[in-house]
Amino acid sequence: MFSSTIDQSLSKEKLSNLKYYKYSSIDRSLLSRYVLRHYWDWAIGLFPMNMAPNLITLIGFTFILMNVALAYWKAPSLDIDENPPRWIYFSYALGIWLYSTFDNVDGRQARRTKSSSPLGELFDHGCDALNTVFSLVMQAGALGSGHSRATVLLVIIETFGFYLSTQEEYHTGTLYLGYVNAPTEGIVLALVVFTISGIYGPAIWRTPVGHVIPNVPSSIASMSFSYGWIALVGVFLLLTHIPLCFYSMFKACRKQGKPFISTMATECSPIVIYCIAIHSWCMSSYSYILSHRNFIPFAVAIGIVFGRMASKIILAHLTKSSFPKFTVLLIPLVLGAAIANLPKIPGMPRLFTPQSELLYIYGFLIFATVVYLRWAIAVINAFCSYLGINCFSIVSSKTELSSKTN
C-alpha cells in the first residue's frame, strides 16, 4: 500500500537533485548571535571527531523521548492536582536544554568533520518536527494546564507555526529564524518555565496575572499565567509569524509565477485538516481523551503524524519535488474525530466508550509509529545509497559533493 508512494518520492530522478543542494539559513536571534553561539562553540569540543552529526541529533532527541515517558509514568494527568515530585520538572529542563545543545552542535560537527549532507538537514528537521508536539506534553505538565482545551490549543498553535516555517523554506529555499523564534527563545522560555515549576510547583502558574502585575485590563488581570502564556504564544503567532511567513511565500510565488491564493489553499489543507481533527476530537462531548486523561498517548500519536507531514515537506524541498499534499497517517486521525462526533447526528450511535477509544488511540499510535519508521528508514537508506554515506557513522573515504553544506 505504501511502497509505491515511497518509490515515487525517492526516484533516481528526484534523488539526482541532491547534487544541487546547498543549505541556506538566516538566524536573526540576538540571543543566538551574542550569547548562545559562544556556548555552542565550546560544547562542540566535548564531542569526538569520529562521532557522526546525525548520531548527535538522535542522542539529543532521546532526551525528549525519555521525558515524555517520564511524564506518562509519573505525571500522566499533566495537572497540579496530581502533585508529582518536583524533580520531574528539573528533568524536563535538563532534557530540553540538552536537546537544544545537541541540536545546535550537530551542524558544527558536520562542518568540522566535512561530513555535511542533505540527509543532515532532513534528519535534524525531522527530529525538530517530532519534538514540536512531544515537548508540549512537558510544557502542559509544567504549566499545570492538564487535560484541557488550553493544552489542545497549545498543540494547534505550535504545530501550525512550525508547518508554516517549513512551508516557507520549501518556497524560498531558506530557513528563516526571526529575532524571536521557537528553536532559541522558545526553548529558553520553556527552560525557565520548567525551572520555576521545579522550584515552586506548577500551581504557581494558576496565579492570576493581576495579583502580580498591577494596572492591567480586567480581562487580563483575571487570567492565570498558564493561560496568559498560551495567549501570548497565540498572539505572537497571529501578529508576527503567520503574516511574515505568508509574505515571504507571496514574494516567492510571484517570482516563480505561481498563483498565491490557490497555492496556499492547497498546501495548507493538510495542516488545517490536522488541526480541525485534533480540536473536534478532543473537544467532542462524546470523547474521553480529556475527561479520562488519555492525552499523552494521543499527543505522541499526533506528534508522529505531524513529524511525517513536516518531514515530507523537507524531503520535497531537498529533492525539488512537488509539495506533499497528503499523508496516510491523517486517515486514523480524521476517522477518530469523525467517530467521536458521530453521535451529534440524530439517530447515530455512540461508538466510543472510554475503553474502546483508548484502544483506538493505542492502535493509532502503533500504526503511526510503524508507518513513520518504515518511511524514515526507506528515506535514510535511499539518501545514504545515493550519497555514498552512512547515517550514524562517518565514512572517511567518501567523496563529498562540492555543493553540500550544512
**pLDDT (tens digit, 9 = 90+) per residue, 290-328?**
999 999 999 999 999 999 999 999 999 999 999 998 899
Q: Of 259 and 399, which is predicted with more confidence?
A: 259
pLDDT at 127: 98
The arithmetic mean of pLDDT across residues 339-351, rounded, is 95
pLDDT band at residue 396 using 50, 70 and 90 as cut-offs: low
SS3 of residue 349 by DSSP: coil
The arithmetic mean of pLDDT across residues 64-85, rounded, is 92
CB-based contact 318:121 (threshold 8 Å):
yes
pTM for this entry:
0.93
Buried b (16+ CB within 10 A) or exposed e, 67-93: bbebbeeebbbbbbeeebeeebbebbb
- Mode of pairing for the β-strands spanning 175-177 and 25-27: parallel
Domain extents in the chain: 3-387
CB-based contact 131:63 (threshold 8 Å):
no
Which of 38, 125, 241, 317 does the annotation list as catalytic? 125
The arithmetic mean of pLDDT across residues 174-190, rounded, is 92
Q: Is 173 left (phi over 0), alpha (psi -120 to 50) or beta?
A: left
pLDDT at 361: 98
Residue corresponding to grid cell 509509529? 369
The least confident of 77-81, 181-185, 231-235 is 77-81
Q: What are phi and psi of 231, to 5 degrees?
A: -65, -40
- Torsion angle of alpha carbons 74, 80, 83, 87, nearest 10°? 60
The arithmetic mean of pLDDT across residues 368-375, rounded, is 97
CB-based contact 105:124 (threshold 8 Å):
no
pLDDT at 398: 43
- Per-residue pLDDT reduced to its tens digit, 113-169: 999 999 999 999 999 999 999 999 999 999 999 899 999 999 999 999 999 999 999
pLDDT band at residue 220 using 50, 70 and 90 as cut-offs: confident
Average pLDDT, the chain: 93
pLDDT at 395: 78
pLDDT at 219: 82
pLDDT for residue 399 is more than 50: no
CA 281 to chain centre: 20
H-assigned helices in 257-353:
260-267, 269-283, 295-319, 330-341
SS3 of residue 73 by DSSP: helix
The arithmetic mean of pLDDT across residues 230-258, rounded, is 94
The least confident of 2-11, 223-232, 260-269, 334-343 is 2-11
pLDDT at 229: 87
Residue 111, all three cell numbers: 562542518
CB-based contact 300:170 (threshold 8 Å):
no
Q: Of 192 and 9, which is predicted with more confidence?
A: 192
Residue 379, all three cell numbers: 528515506
pLDDT band at residue 6 using 50, 70 and 90 as cut-offs: low
CA 317 to chain centre: 18
SS (H, E, C) 135-172: HHHHHHHHHCECCCHHHHHHHHHHHHHHHHHHHHHHHH
- Per-residue pLDDT reduced to its tens digit, 267-298: 999 999 999 999 999 999 999 999 999 999 99
pLDDT at 401: 45
The arithmetic mean of pLDDT across residues 335-364, rounded, is 97
pLDDT for residue 402 is more than 80: no
User: Position 297: which residue type?
Assistant: P
Sequence-distant (6+) residues with CB within 8 A of 175 are 24, 25, 26, 165, 169
* 279 part of the active site: no
SS3 of residue 248 by DSSP: helix
CA-to-CA separations, 289 to 251, 306, 360, 367, in angstroms, rounded: 41, 19, 11, 18
- Per-residue pLDDT reduced to its tens digit, 170-180: 999 999 999 98
Radius of gyration of the chain, Cα coordinates, nearest whole angstrom:
22
pLDDT at 92: 98
Residue 217, all three cell numbers: 485590563
pLDDT at 400: 46
Architecture of domain 3-387: Up-down Bundle (1.20)
